[in-house]
Amino acid sequence: METVLKGTEGTVHIAPGRPTVLIGERINPTGRKKLATELEAGNIEVVKREALAQIEVGADVIDVNVGATGVDQVAVLPRAVEMVQEVVKAPLSIDTSDPAALAAALQVYQGKPLVNSVNGEEKNLSRVLPLVADYGAAVIGLCMDEEGISDDPHRRLEIARKIVERAKALGIPREDILIDCLALTVSADSGAALVTLEAIRLVKDELGVNMTLGASNVSFGLPDRELLNGLFLAIAIREGVNAPIVNAAQVRQAILAVDVLLGRDEFAMRYIKDYRKRQKKG
């Protein structure tokens, strides 16, 4: 089961046993006022800067998101994608909840992108998946639907199954789907991370698909978030996540270490190289 993503030049392979692929945390204006203001003012350069910053800290796939109040995503998203692809060779993740903006961005994208995302809602499935099929893209499938996010891992599996089946009916192969079992906040609900981990295990066992995970929510409201996020990712990667969405600056080192432990880095060469690079930087 191998997911292949392509940028203007770079190709990324996501598969069990291969090194973990880092999807850079989205360039997302939500809650980032200055960025939103710049985008509203038509300044898309900011998206390019953020993309380059993610590459710099070691992200393998760059998420592009221009969603904010007052931003015309249908006009802005394709321009942002083009601009980022001028300077970034790696594959992009096109991150929007607006199908029209997604269609416009897919049209200009060079390569094979990751669509972020589809979920289990009927309306969403029927609007997003045909675009994914038409453009031969890969897609992130979120384990949530009209009823929200269930705290029953079997229910999350059920939604993952539905997404995989609907995709199949449109000719999208299973290897082009990255399931996200969704991580909620443990400080709000002690069982939240366990539900996610159980869902990941179920999805891995039954569907065998590659998986992503936006993990940083898990530690919200707690001290030493970086520690919690790294440990949670370690467990999630062991359970089957192989392309998490992360702040690479914060957790890349931990993920390289996990790859050593899981036998995905022969002689720890990547790990040691990264360590030496960090030592030099001081």
Q: List interacting residues with a copy of itself (CB under 8 A).
A: 186-187, 190-191, 193-194, 197, 218, 222-224, 227-228, 230-232, 234-235, 238-239, 253-254, 257-258, 260-263, 265-268, 271-272, 275
Rounded to a whole number of angstroms, the minimum distance from the CB of residue 166 to a copy of itself is: 32
Q: How far apart are CA 36 and CA 69, in angstroms?
A: 8
Instruction: Give the three-state DSSP class for 115.
Output: strand
208 Ramachandran zone, left/alpha/beta (phi>0; psi -120 to 50): left
| For a copy of itself, the closer CB: 93 or 229 | 229
Q: What is the C-alpha separation between 105 and 95, in angstroms, rounded?
A: 10
Give me the least distance between CB of 208 and a copy of itself, in Å please.
17
In our burial notation (b when 16+ CB lie closer than 10 A, e otherwise), range 237-261 reads: bebbbbbbbbbbbebbbbbbbbbbe
Nearest CB to a copy of itself, comparing residues 86 and 224 = 224
Question: In whole angstroms, how close is the CB of 15 to a copy of itself at the nearest point?
Answer: 16
> Nearer to a copy of itself by C-beta: 32 or 270?
270
* Burial environment of residue 79 by CB neighbours within 10 A (0 to 12, 13 to 18, 19 or more): middle
Distances (CA, A) of 89 to 5, 6, 14, 109, 135: 11, 9, 17, 12, 19
Q: How far is the CB of 1 from a copy of itself (least distance, A)?
A: 19
Q: Measured from the CB of residue 142, what is the shortest distance to a copy of itself in angstroms?
A: 21
DSSP notation for 208-229: --EEE-B-GGGGTTSS-HHHHH
Q: Using an 8 Å Cβ cutoff, are 77 and 96 in contact?
A: yes
121 or 274: CB nearest a copy of itself = 274
Give the nearer residue to a copy of itself in terms of CB position, either 120 or 230. 230
State the amino acid at position 263 in one-letter form.
G
Sign of the torsion formed by the C-alpha atoms of 277, 217, 87 and 60: positive
Nearer to a copy of itself, 87 or 272 (CB): 272
For residue 23, give the H/E element and its range: strand 23-27
Tell me the closest approach of the beta carbon of residue 124 to a copy of itself, in angstroms. 30
- Residue 57 or 262 having the CB closest to a copy of itself: 262
* Closest CB 282 distance from a copy of itself, rounded Å: 13
Distance CA 39, CA 42 (A): 5
